[in-house]
Amino acid sequence: MDNNLTDISHWEATYEAIEYTESSNDSDISIWIKKHLPIELDFPKTSFEVGIFPSSYSTIFGKMGYQINGIDRIGEVNNNMKAWLLSKKYQVGDLFCEDFFKFNTKNKYDIVCSFGFIEHFKNFEEVIKRHTLLVKDNGFIILETPNFRGLVQHFLKYFLDKKNLDIHYLPSMNFYRWEKVLTDAGFEIVAKDYLGKFSFQTYPQKRNFIQKKLIKFINDNRYFIKKQLFKKSSKHYSPNMILLAKKIK
């Protein structure tokens, strides 16, 4: 069985004209991490992002004083991206241009994370297990994915953004299954949340007239929808889900 719902050509095309950016201090993910990640007084510390390219999420940890490490199959991970991170004065360690499933190292890290990675694999539980092998004792793991299983998000994705939906494995978007893998691996759950008010991002694809009109309507009224209809985070319509766990044994 082919467990991978995407291939390298998909990501090379996606990031062909990428512009490197630092994660905003006001982003939902940045705020959530800073709120729940315990403050560590003894530095230096290391972070390792699985699927690091183009590194904007890793800059969250870089701003907190962590050395940035990671792995990605995109060739630019060790060229323009590394040069950009260094130009921004981040501490940069090892950036591996390798297949994560063939990756082998004895190194352990204080934070191991991925953002929008595990949901592209049918064997996502194995993917999570491979994350856990890289975490130091008393270190942390952070997992984040889209929330396409939410009723509102799934409905919109199915009818308006099917091509994007098809490269995401919906059973992977399940806190219970994440927690089972992590607790079996000796982690305790620190925090988990459906994250963010309503938003709807789309993937380039062919659409009919009605689909285009509906997407335009949503975009034109997104502020009203956020403030009047979907005011808080919810498993039904929040765009993301995120979990933090600590290795205790």
Q: Given this model, what pLDDT does residue 17 score?
A: 67
User: Percentage of residues in the chain with pLDDT exceeding 90?
Assistant: 74
pLDDT over threshold 80, residue 2: no
Mean pLDDT, rounded, for 19-38: 93
pLDDT of residue 87: 96
Model pLDDT for residues 174-196, shown as the tens digit of each residue? 999 999 999 999 999 999 999 98
Average pLDDT over the chain, rounded to whole?
91
Interval 201-228 mean pLDDT: 88
- This prediction has a pTM of 0.92
pLDDT reading at 41 higher than 70 = no
Domains of the chain: 8-247 (3.40.50.150)
Q: What is the pLDDT of residue 1?
A: 44
Q: Is the pLDDT of residue 210 over 70?
A: yes
More confident residue, 112 or 43: 112
Lowest model confidence (mean pLDDT) among 36-40, 154-158, 236-240: 36-40
3-state secondary structure 10-30: HHHHHCCCCCCCCCCCCCHHH
